Chain A
Amino acid sequence: MQSRRVFLKSGAMALVSLGFAPSFLARTVAAAGTRKKLLIAIFQRGAVDGLNMVVPFGEADYYRARPSIAIARPGREGGALDLDGFFGLHPGMSALQPFWDRGHLAIVHASGSHDATRSHFDAQDYMESGTPGVKNTRDGWLNRYLQAMDEPRTPLRAVALTRQMPRALQGRAPALAMGSVDGFDVRGDVTAKAAFESAYESAADQVLNGTATEAFDAMRTLSRKTSSRYRPASGATYPRSPFGQALREIASLAKAEVGLEVAFAESTNWDHHANEGGATGQMANRLDDLSRGIAALVNDLGDRMADTVILTMSEFGRAVAENGSRGTDHGHGNAMMLIGGAVKGGRIYGDWPGLAREQRYEGRDLAVTTDFRDIFAEVVVSHLGATSAAAGRVFPGHSVNPVRFRGLLRA
């Protein structure tokens, strides 16, 4: 366990570097000790091309393999945004550069699963169940985290801003999925709402009964805690996309102090087999949406970012070489991002395997040198405060060993 003193210090440093007014500082420090940690998980569904998201511009093989879609070296037109002289962000991600510069954005490259699947469905399933290669795991790793911690029951502890419950949050512990916070209420008169609650309360149907109970509990809490209209902090402009709006809803819940601990959002449409584009084009548009969304969220949460980690993930990366349609086919290793006050950012983590043919996984894809479970486990232990033993229950079949943690977070 970290000492309170260290925590306050790192929290305060985070605030200074995030650039907030001193008046916010005092309030945060006072509140930090009692506030819950918050994890915001973002799934990039469809397998983002990590090599064009976090560009290894120092690799000649990168340019040889991608004659029409490579991102140019920094300083050239449409060039990558230099991070450390070897890697750069896609130019469409400039909204995230300030967080890198202030040391709040970390990247783990060549991360992913040791399972060989290139199936979207299986790979998403494995990443969300947290058990690569095992298909009959019933619950998701985020849900098992909720199960592993002995916390008082609060209905809005885990919320996915998705219309369907994501696999990562499915399981025994209560969790909610909703398209929007405002829309999450029974819109009839009070007697209808009470009648529905009563019918579901005594339903023998376990699935429907349990879900409805969670829903009605959450509706009660929300009606007490939230004002009618949410207004983001000044300077936080969310994209009008479904992803941007989902992040806005997450911020509104986080600031309503309803006990939110795990939030989930998804960014879709990353499966660029054709006409992926380079500095501009399809993928650039998606990265723009992703980056501006995350930047708005960070700015909106403001001092709350001291207790928050935003974690991005995607089921696998894409082949090193572009295919015959100026796109990329399914690959293996990928890049994940962590943003937060406690993140030791401004660094690329992981061992870089190289892109020469003999360095590639099965001769074609970026190899995996960091198991995604070690990143998840580090967040569960170092950020959310689980013990290693508890984290072991979150990732069955994987030995959770802090020695393998990359040191992404101030412990």
Chain B
Amino acid sequence: MSSVSSVDSSVSAGRAATPSALRDRQILMELEQARLLRAVYSERQLEEVLVDFWFNHFNVFAGKGPTRAYVTSFERDAIRPHALGNFRQMLEAVAASPAMLFYLDNWMNTDPQAPQMGTGESQGRLRLGNRRPMGQQAGAGGSRAGEPPQRQAPARGINENYARELLELHTLGVDGGYTQDDIVNVARAFTGWTFRPRQGTTFTFARARHDDEEKTVLGHRIRAGGGMEDGRQVLDILAAHPSTARFIATKLAQKFVADTPPAALVERAARRFIATRGDLREVTRAIVTSPEFFAAGAYRAKVKTPLEFVASAIRATAAEVRTAMPLARTLRDLGMPLYSCQPPTGYDETAETWVSSGALVARMNFALELGANRLRGVSMASESTSDRDALRARIVDDILGGDVSAATRSVITRATTAEQVVALAIGSPEFQRQ
């Protein structure tokens, strides 16, 4: 098994081949295909680009135990509805999503002074089977009479994982001006934000596990007794913070314009973020209608990520995708398996990451397989490959915008088969950029 097995095994030890594990794998394969099919065929391309962007911004790793089963809801309910919506709302949808609660461990984040709640088994080791879930009666502070004997006392105490990444990766950015004390206080504010694995996988606030004392976050006082509002107040503070506006503006401009985006553009987009209180439609609009977006220098300034490369290749060749699994496998070869980026940083957006010798060779091989119709379940219609000259003209003039180097034009012209024409165009230096 892959390197994720150790994470899986702690959660579902001895259950690797059970129907539920197979079902979980099936879920992931379907998700990967759905994302790829939308990337290729959706008529709302901007939305697809933004779903990719925001999923990656709030990355969760499907290989971490039951996260896999929660990713569907995460993308559908927490990311997609807000990709052109309001940042603050997306922030809370993510904070309350089982995928994020599990991936960054906040589901266990508990006031050290909290009364004894669940069993060691259910609290420390999430089981998605026959065991009673953690936090089930937490809101009511109910007892757990009748639980199986406990091997260990339940874990209690702060877990900083989510709090740190919320500040560093989701909102302020690493230089956004927070301290270790802020992280601890944010973690305290989110104690008790957890979920019920068996009841429709829904968020629940476990008041009995919440640290209800006063907290100070980024100089703001959060009064004692706030309960679940503590976390919401933290999200308010973060969403309105100028560091967040700048951080989000920088990342969006980097996605759409250049690896090192123009400072003036970032500044304008950040101001738009503040003026509209995080209306992402407006921030996105500010970027994609800017002079910088249309500037000559932004043309082919970005190297395509593997997802962008594969999706654009299928669109460019008008290939028919009956199953997207070969494309999902290609993304793994290219170092970008969907839903399987392990660290919370998500995938990098810059050329240095995606242009390695191995990745370049893998792109050429994908182009050759696509051209030769050797990707099972992915085929180009026969009319596109029957006329070599027409295809050559279409590829060079339409797909590569007619703008190719003499060398690329020359190798395409010398290609002896229609298969090679496609392969050389898709594998060309020009096609690696957007």
**Interface residues of A, Cβ cutoff 8 Å to B:** 45-46, 68, 117-122, 160, 162-165, 170, 176-179, 183-188, 191-192, 195-196, 198-205, 207-209, 211-212, 214-215, 218-219, 241-243, 267-269, 271, 273-275, 277, 281-282, 285-286, 289, 323-327, 329-330, 362
Contact = CB atoms under 8 A, between A and B. Distances in A.
Contact of B360 (A211, A325, A329): A211
B289 interface: no
Interface stretch (B32-40, B67-75, B379-387, B426-434): B426-434
A199 B155 contact: no
Given A242-B3, A325-B108, A121 B174 contact: yes
Given A191-B416, A192-B368, A178 B405 contact: no
B357 A176 contact: yes
B12 to A, nearest CB: 12
Interface in B142-169: 152, 155-161, 164, 168-169
A177 B429 CA distance: 18
A400 B424 CA distance: 49
Interface centre among A200, A219, A243, A289 (most CB of B within 10 A): A200
Contact of B423 (A188, A198, A212, A329): A188
B359 A177 contact: yes
A188 B156 contact: no
Given A118-B164, A188-B423, A191-B416, A203 B6 contact: no
Contacts of B155: 68, 324-326
A183 B155 CA distance: 46
Interface string B194-227: 0000000000000000000000000000000000
B411 interface: yes
Q: How large is the interface on B (under 10, 10 to 19, 20 to 34, 35 or more residues)?
A: 35 or more
B354 interface: yes
Contact of B109 (A271, A275, A325): A325
Interface of B: 1-7, 9-10, 104-105, 108-110, 112, 124-125, 152, 155-161, 164, 168-169, 174, 180, 303, 333-335, 342-345, 348, 351-362, 364-365, 368, 372, 405-408, 410-411, 414-416, 420, 423-424, 427-429, 432-433
5 contacts: A46-B343, A121-B174, A176-B357, A179-B362, A186-B364
Nearest to A208: B429
B39 to A, nearest CB: 20
Nearest to A321: B157
A138 to B, nearest CB: 9
Given A177-B356, A325-B159, 20 more contacts: A119-B174, A164-B356, A165-B355, A170-B352, A183-B362, A192-B424, A198-B410, A198-B411, A203-B408, A205-B429, A211-B360, A212-B429, A214-B357, A218-B357, A269-B7, A269-B342, A273-B160, A275-B10, A323-B158, A329-B164
A397 B230 CA distance: 43
B109 A285 contact: no
Contact of A274 (B5, B108, B180, B432): B108
A184 B358 contact: yes
B271 to A, nearest CB: 24
A215 B365 CA distance: 13
A160 B358 CA distance: 10
Chain B CB within 10 A, most for which of A170, A205, A330: A205
A207 B300 CA distance: 12
A179 B174 contact: no
Contacts of A219: 361
B180 A199 contact: no
B379 to A, nearest CB: 18
Contacts of A46: 342-343
Given A201-B407, A324-B159, A178 B358 contact: yes
A198 B408 CA distance: 8
- Which of B3, B152, B348, B372 gathers the greatest number of chain A CB atoms within 10 Å? B3
Which among A163, A218, A329, A330 has the highest number of chain B CB atoms within 10 Å? A163
A281 B161 contact: no
Contacts of A324: 108-110, 112, 155-159
Q: Specify which of A192, A211, A268 lies most central, judged by the most chain B CB atoms within 10 Å of its CB.
A: A192
